[in-house]
Amino acid sequence: MRSWDLNSLDIKPREPEVLVSEQEGRAIAIQLPAGEALDEHQVHERAWLVVIEGAVEVAEPGGESVSAGAGLLAEFDPAERHEVRATQDARLLLILSPWPGVGHPSER
């Protein structure tokens, strides 16, 4: 087992820290200062974004927008475009994973 205390990691702004990177998925800790954003983008994997501390606004281009603080879990489909803007200094956990995973019944 590996574990991380996400509240005590020394993460520098604009320097995401890859916590784990395996074929099955990747976990990345991000420190996003208030007013800064992960501008509109997409990733190839399914993505889950967890707000650990602070607050963010998550928006789809021309679509839904959600503002929330610690405890928010947002899920994005592969290639879904989105933007994340910190409304307060925010600590985030981003989890990326392929889908379906190796061995999943839908692969057969």
Q: How many residues does the chain have?
A: 108
Q: What is the mean pLDDT of residues 76-98?
A: 93
- Omega before 100 within 30 of 0, i.e. cis: yes
Q: What is the pLDDT of residues 51-73, one digit of tens each?
A: 999 999 999 888 889 999 999 99
Q: Find the largest Cα–Cα distance for the chain.
A: 46
Q: Where are the domains of the chain?
A: 25-102
Tokens at residue 51, please?
């707000």
- CATH architecture of the domain formed by 25-102: Sandwich (2.60)
Instruction: Dig out the tokens for 33 from the structure.
Output: 């200062």
Q: Which pTM value belongs to this model? A: 0.86
Q: Span 3-10, mean pLDDT?
A: 95
| β-bridge partners, 96 | 26, 47
What percent of the chain shows pLDDT beyond 90? 67
With a pLDDT cut of 70, the percent of the chain lying above it is 91
